[in-house]
């Protein structure tokens, strides 16, 4: 069994017992304080499970910001990519991903499009901000327009293609169909 050994024996979290959602979204709890290594003690505050330690460290499960970009071609089809990684590997999504610490949201949007579909985009209008009960992820979605390059699979995608609303493939995340449909209807 693979064990995390970054801090010696202070973080014995079995990676093999974690799901990709635990890893990607930070849904599992620490067994030990990440600051001093003593056994973690949790309390519930306002319905949120909080780690607070005798060393003074407090850990809140804060939201994680993700960004997505909807890109349309001249035939009114949307650019999608088949995901090459978890979560939902093998399913389709529009270019999207997490905003890095200290990164401007619009910069992250451009970066994700380049990484996933290999084109440079101009970020346009904010389409919406989406969240779901019980999920750490807050999704910020923009409209984008290709200014350079031709769509092609990147490191994080198996293939890319344009689809009409009536021909959407099986999407990675259920909310995406509604976001795409509403955007296409309004534009």
The catalytic site residues sit at: 159
Assign 3-class secondary structure to 55-86.
CCCEECCCCEEEEEEEEECCCCCEEEEEECCC
Two structure tokens written together for 168? 């959407």
Two structure tokens written together for 106? 């619009």
Contacts of 136 (CB under 8 A, 6+ apart): 25, 26, 27, 61, 62, 63, 64
CA atoms within 13 A on the CB side of 108: 18
């Amino acid at each position: 069994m693979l064990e995390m050994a970054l801090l010696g024996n202070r973080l014995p979290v079995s990676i093999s017992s974690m799901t990709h959602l635990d890893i990607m979204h930070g849904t599992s709890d620490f067994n030990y304080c990440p600051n001093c290594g003593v056994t973690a003690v949790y309390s519930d505050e306002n319905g949120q499970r909080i780690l607070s330690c005798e060393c003074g460290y407090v850990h809140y499960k804060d939201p994680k910001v993700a960004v997505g970009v909807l890109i349309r071609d001249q035939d009114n089809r949307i650019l999608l990519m088949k995901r090459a990684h978890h979560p939902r590997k093998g399913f389709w999504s529009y270019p999207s991903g997490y905003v890095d610490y200290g990164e401007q949201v619009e910069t992250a949007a451009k970066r994700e499009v380049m990484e996933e579909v290999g084109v440079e985009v101009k970020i346009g209008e904010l389409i919406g901000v989406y969240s779901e009960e019980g999920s750490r992820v807050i999704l910020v979605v923009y409209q984008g327009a290709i200014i350079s390059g031709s769509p092609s699979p990147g490191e994080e995608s198996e293939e890319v293609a344009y689809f009409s609303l009536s021909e959407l493939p099986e999407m990675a995340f259920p909310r995406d169909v509604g976001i795409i449909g509403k955007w296409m209807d309004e534009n």
